[in-house]
Amino acid sequence: MKAKLLAVVSAAAFLSACANMNIPGVRDMADEGSAFDAALHQNYADLAQAEYDEADWADARYFTSRSKMAAAGQDSGPQMIAERSLPEGSMGEIEVARADLLAALDGGGRDKAASPAARAQTSFDCWMQELEENIQQEDIDNCRSAFYQALAIVQAEIDTGPVAKAMPMAMPVPMNVYFGFDKSEIDSKGMSVVDGIAEAYAKYNPAMISLVAYADRAGDAMYNDILAKSRVDAVVSALRAGGVPASKLAISISGEANVPVSTADGVAEQGNRVVTVTFEDGM
């Protein structure tokens, strides 16, 4: 009887969550604000769907609400840090990141670089949400990486000083696209990183983009090479769809060899299920 009651309560909670989050309907709402608000509208809807798919009803509902606000032109800016319970040691970087984001947005980023500015804000909120959960390091890294990629583009766009324009633009730091265990499909958070890479390519125009594919050391080495190849193929396909020419992409397969996180053989390490993307300036 108790088990049945719990099942009924769980089902009721599930139906209640579904009723409060019509994410496709929210995504289709007409935009009443700026281009920045319109981009926020869709990006927050993407985050809502990702959390909904993970059965994180609270965050799915939060991001759905943010998507609605953005569609109505009523965005309230990046989430306040105090609204999340963040792990010890993460606060310093988050505070600096939020201050840099606000400076870029208030410095004209919303108008001059609407799409990357929206991506920077939603990636920051995603980063804080994943830090609060603190259970999926690859998701934390995906959101953090997407934030810094987008912020760099916004900062470059609003920096109109003659000295800055005359100097060669430094290439972004390497960017990581993480994958699930034994998976080669790019999830929604990984696609945020890929989209940011495509945007950065248009801005920085690197001489070459190097992609190195890895797999963790669980399983057979030959299989892991094949899995790593499938992962980099997925990233290449997504980048080409985003406007990056194949001639700019240099691919290498590392598999479980020389992995970013050193482990013993047989260890399933999420930090090694990754494709690392590096811009080369040709100098």
Strand order in the sheet with 208-214: 175-178, 274-280, 208-214, 249-255
Q: By C-alpha distance, which of 72, 76, 20, 66 is closest to 43?
A: 66
Contact 12, 34 (CB under 8 A): no
pLDDT, one tens digit per residue, over 9-51 is 444 444 444 445 799 999 999 999 999 999 999 999 999 999 9
Q: What are the φ and ψ backbone dihedral angles of 12, each rounded to 5 degrees?
A: -65, -40
Task: Give residue for tokens 């600096």.
Answer: 96
* DSSP character at residue 262: -
Residue type, 94: I
pLDDT, one tens digit per residue, over 44-84 is 999 999 999 889 999 999 999 999 999 999 999 999 999 99
Q: By C-alpha distance, which of 153, 154, 136, 151 is closest to 50?
A: 136
Domains of the chain plus CATH, in order, are: 30-167 (no CATH), 169-283 (3.30.1330.60)
Mean pLDDT of 128-138: 90
Annotate 67-88 with DSSP letters as a single string: HHHHHTT----SPPGGGS-PPT
List Cα–Cα distances, 181 to 133, 177, 219, in angstroms: 19, 13, 11
Taking only Cα atoms into account, the Rg of the chain, rounded to an integer number of angstroms, comes to 20
Q: By C-alpha distance, which of 230, 214, 229 is closest to 271?
A: 214
Contact 282, 208 (CB under 8 A): yes
Please give the model's pTM, rounded to 2 decimal places: 0.65
Mean pLDDT of 194-202: 86
Both tokens of 5, joined, read 């009651």
